[in-house]
Structure 1
Amino acid sequence: MNREIIIGDRVRLIQRPQYFKTAEPMPMLRPPDLVVVGQEGIVVDRRPGGFWVVRFDSGAVLLDSQYLELVAMNSELLSKEEI
């Protein structure tokens, strides 16, 4: 998939950062085992510096796009199969 990430996309964590920064009004640094590699979340916001706010089951965190990959939606899979 060569599409850019946008708000509302479903993404998957492909690599753990050294730590996670929470996307709360008073951000905190959390350990890297907060989110498991392969876990999927929803992009809910874009922040300055190129960071994405992604909501996982364990909470919302700030992540750079290098740690994320887009998850193919059913409609995208169907259109590829039709070609």
Structure 2
Amino acid sequence: MSEEFIIGSKVRVIALPPYVKTADPMPMLRPPDVIHIGEEGIVLDRRPGGYWGIRFAKGAFLLDSQYIESIDKPPASNEAES
């Protein structure tokens, strides 16, 4: 099952797919070197087929959740304060 991300959350690329697809209304395939492992982006939306629209420095691309991980820290629990 694919991981779920919150719209607007930050993610990091952990692996490169064989190609990347632009998040344009008419998506185009690009070579994977337009993004790099470790590059951070912001989740724009969820797309059909399990893809996530992510805004990077060089544009918006569609990536499957297996290629990204969340870098937003989960909210701190109140149990530690008790």
Q: Please tell me whether Structure 1 or Structure 2 has the larger radius of gyration of its CA atoms.
A: 2
Corresponding residue for 1:23? Answer: 23
**Stretches of 4+ moved more than 6 A in 1?**
none
Corresponding residue for 2:69? Answer: 69
Corresponding residue for 1:10? Answer: 10
CA distance in 2, matches of 1:64, 1:57: 18
Match of 2:33, SS? helix
1:30-51, CA deviations, whole angstroms, 9 ceiling, x for partnerless residues?
0110001000000001011111
CA distance in 2, matches of 1:15, 1:71: 15
For structure 1, which runs of at least 5 residues remain unmatched after alignment? Answer: none
> What's the RMSD between the two structures over aligned residues?
1.8
**TM-score using structure 1 length:** 0.83
CA distance in 1, matches of 2:41, 2:16: 14
CA distance in 2, matches of 1:59, 1:52: 14
Corresponding residue for 2:42? Answer: 42
For structure 2, which runs of at least 5 residues remain unmatched after alignment? Answer: none
Figure out how many residues of one structure are paired with residues of the other and give that number.
77
CA distance in 2, matches of 1:13, 1:23: 16
Q: Which structure is higher in helix share? A: 1
Deviates more, 1:3-12 or 1:32-41: 3-12
Q: Which amino acid aligns with 1:51?
A: Y
Identity of aligned residues (%): 58
**TM-score using structure 2 length:** 0.84
